[in-house]
Structure 1
């Protein structure tokens, strides 16, 4: 198992542990935090299962899934979760996803988090392409992805079903040779 820990100026990413269930539930279980995510709010038991699956995935060879706790360096508190999933058929490409507690929104944390994920994927994992999808209504995620250096690629129509309805997704990506790894994160 490869232990992951990466730090920026305001955030640190580390492997999730069983002690993170409550912190992750504060994101995954919150209707506001999950408003634009492709699933309904999760129960605490569902978050426990997500953490258990993340711990199992961390032991896999080759490792394809990284589920990381997002730590605010100001108070050393877990404030969110970040995922990076390497595609089995395309091992140089990965999808990222993230969620932060709403009380940390509007402070540029999402942009910092995306930059850390890009740095981890390109520098540490030697990926070629990293992509993520967002709800078309999530303009904060759009801004964070663009400011972090991702490019908007297009829309996938009726991509996910959440809250009883089909929803489109807008895809953003970054490529290894376009990534500006010298940026401060």
Structure 2
């Protein structure tokens, strides 16, 4: 395994470790941070299991799952989580997901994080298509993906069951040959 460590504009991405469980639980266990995610807040034990599975997935060949800690460049502290999952049947396509601690919302970090994930996927993994789905009510994610260069593709009706009800998802994507971030790389 070649460990992932990428720096961007004020943010970094690196492999998760068991030492990150509490920091990641601050995202996955927070009701506000998970409001638009397709699952209820996770317990600390569930987050520890996710991290353990991610560490195991990092050793597999070919690697399909990247669960990465989002760090602040200045302090190095973990402020969120990013996920990139390469599709088994379509190895040039991947789904992204992300979550940030609520105390870091409203600062443009989501846009920077999406850009960093696109850079990682296109430049480092040589993917052709990267997509993400969001809750229709999550306008912050909509703005982050659009500003980062993703295109809104459409709505999947009753895509996930969350908090006892069916919820639609809105899909956004970026294509390698259309992605603006490739210029100057």
Shift of 1:74: 2.5
Shift of 1:75: 1.7
The answer for the alignment partner of 2:75 in structure 1 is 75
**Runs of 5+ unmatched residues, structure 2:** none
Superposed CA RMSD:
1.0
Map 1:11-30; keep pairs closer than 5 Å.
11-30=11-30
The answer for the alignment partner of 1:142 in structure 2 is 142
Map 1:62-101; keep pairs closer than 5 Å.
62-101=62-101
| 1:20-58 Cα shifts (integer Å, max 9, x gaps) | 000000000000000000100000000000000000000
Q: Matches of 1:34 and 1:43 in 2, distance apart?
A: 12
Q: Matches of 1:9 and 1:61 in 2, distance apart?
A: 30
Q: Matches of 2:183 and 2:79 in 1, distance apart?
A: 23
The answer for the alignment partner of 1:52 in structure 2 is 52
TM-score (normalised: structure 2): 0.98
The answer for the alignment partner of 1:168 in structure 2 is 168
The answer for the alignment partner of 2:128 in structure 1 is 128
The answer for the alignment partner of 1:156 in structure 2 is 156
SS state of the match for residue 146, structure 2? helix
Shift of 1:182: 5.0
The answer for the alignment partner of 2:179 in structure 1 is 179
Q: Matches of 1:96 and 1:173 in 2, distance apart?
A: 10
**Runs of 5+ unmatched residues, structure 1:** none
Shift of 1:183: 7.0
| 1:110-149 Cα shifts (integer Å, max 9, x gaps) | 0000000000000000000000000000000000000000
Q: Matches of 1:93 and 1:81 in 2, distance apart?
A: 20
Structure 1 stretch 164-173 or stretch 72-81: which is displaced more?
Answer: 72-81
Q: Matches of 1:92 and 1:183 in 2, distance apart?
A: 20
The answer for the alignment partner of 2:113 in structure 1 is 113
TM-score (normalised: structure 1): 0.98
Q: Matches of 1:138 and 1:183 in 2, distance apart?
A: 29
Q: Matches of 1:15 and 1:6 in 2, distance apart?
A: 10
